[in-house]
Amino acid sequence: MEPHGRTVEGCEKAEPLPSDPAASSPPVRSTEHNAKAVSILDACKGGDITTLRTLAASEGGLVSDEVRRHAWPLLLGYNDHEGELQQQEKQPTNAWRALPKHRDEDQVRLDVDRSFIYYPNDQSSADLDRRKEELSDLITEVLRSQPYLCYFQGYHDICQVFLLVLEPRSRAAAVARLSTLRIRDFMLPTLAPALAQLHLIPAILHAVDPKLCAHLSLTQPFFALSGTLTMYAHDIQEYGEIARLFDVLLAREAVFSVYMFAQIVLQRSNELFETPADEPEMLHSILSKLPKPLNIEELIANTVNLFEKYPPERLITWRLISSSSVLKTARWPEQTINQSLEEGEMYFKKQVKELQRQEQRDKLIRLVRQYRRPAGTIGLAVLVGVLSFYLRKNSGPSSFLGALWRQWSGYKGH
């Protein structure tokens, strides 16, 4: 049986719908665009990834879905990892169906049922149902093949763009590499690493416009979660715009998406100053919705300049990002090209261990705080017992014990 209760054996599967020209971004129209398309295809043919990235970030991006079908796989590292693709192609087309069911498949089904709301908008109900079936299969194949990944709501928004752009044989490999090497932080057991990314936004704002940063100091940057989590696919309703945006997000560093939201905030400074700083709920409401119209080309150009002027290493919160986060393992575009799915899984497991250690630390600090105020004989005895148990179980660094001591004693230094 399939995860949706439908029997696979003896059932004739309809042929997958091809990438839909009607749903595609606008076709190449001008001589200039034609010339750019030729340059992109030449870069693809020659494996010139540097030129390809430059063209993807320049005005008009990769110009059409026909060109993207050649370029996106290269930007995700197919050429250097053809073995992965060949191994997948040797497997029977539906081999993934025999794999154990992923724990999140029920949620996948619910989200897929809500997909394709805005595009494509000229297909029949039967065609849309087939699209949804393909989308469900794509997501399920990736999750069953990488069972350690955790599905998040909004992942289907990303996958539906890949489904509409790429040919069927390329989709699963593309989404697998994207998931493990580019958006891995969002597919961990908790959203803590995703939220950690958002705290780079105030640091960027402080570097560029301290006054605006102070104005938003009571507003947590969680307003950017939907945009960064879904590569903006949940918020942008025009297919041509989101496909264009994916061009640059795949070509640039993983952290570029965070810079882009910071740039959106900067461009709305006049509007934000009209709302009092002591109304964080109102500011959150404003910032959680992307402005309309959203000038994609201007936004991309401004974000490129912002990134070059204030690289992440200059941000005060960059050091708090895990060394296993995609923001650092994909800090340079070449890193993604050179990494394998196995390396992505290795980083995933490291991040899980870090999260588990952090959870233990948080629990211990809460215990310390609980017994700090009485500070009597019983409280002190319990504290000593807790610390002794921790030291037996962990070889924690002395800096951590120092932090615990400051938490317990109230000592804050000079």
CA distances from 102 to 167, 173, 325, 389, 412 (A): 25, 18, 24, 36, 48
Q: Which residue has the tokens 């959870």?
A: 359
Domain range 21-27+64-181, CATH class: mainly alpha
pLDDT for residue 385:
59
What sign does the dihedral 175-71-198-356 (CA atoms) show? Answer: positive
pLDDT for residue 71:
96
What sign does the dihedral 355-356-357-363 (CA atoms) show? Answer: positive
Q: Which fold has domain 200-316?
A: Cyclin A; domain 1 (1.10.472)
Split at pLDDT 50, 70, 90, the class of 374 is low
Number of H helices, E strands in the chain: 22, 0
Contacts 24+ apart (CB under 8 A), 276-279: 277/214, 277/215, 277/216, 277/217, 277/218, 278/218
Q: Which of 206, 322, 207 is nearest to 255 (CA)?
A: 322
Cβ atoms within 10 Å, residue 72: 25
| 376 pLDDT higher than 80 | no
Are 21-27+64-181 and 200-316 the same fold in CATH? no
Tell me the two tokens of residue 241.
């715009």
Are residues 5 and 136 in contact, defined by beta-carbon separation less than 8 angstroms? no
* pLDDT tens string 198-239: 999 999 999 999 999 999 999 999 999 999 999 999 999 999
Q: Which residue has the tokens 């010339």?
A: 35
Cβ atoms within 10 Å, residue 329: 24
pLDDT for residue 122:
84
d(CA 264, CA 403): 37
| Assessment of whether the complete model's pTM goes beyond 0.85 | no
Parse the chain into domains and list their residue ranges. 21-27+64-181, 200-316
* pLDDT tens string 72-122: 999 999 754 445 555 555 566 789 999 999 999 999 999 999 999 999 988
* pLDDT tens string 265-283: 999 999 999 999 999 999 9
Instruction: Kindly state the average pLDDT of the residues 61-76.
Output: 96
Averaged confidence pLDDT in the chain: 86
Are residues 146 and 175 in contact, defined by beta-carbon separation less than 8 angstroms? no
Q: Which of 119, 133, 257 is nearest to 186 (CA)?
A: 257
Of 103-117, 145-159, 172-186, 358-372, where does mean pLDDT reach its minimum?
A: 358-372
- Position 319, amino acid: R
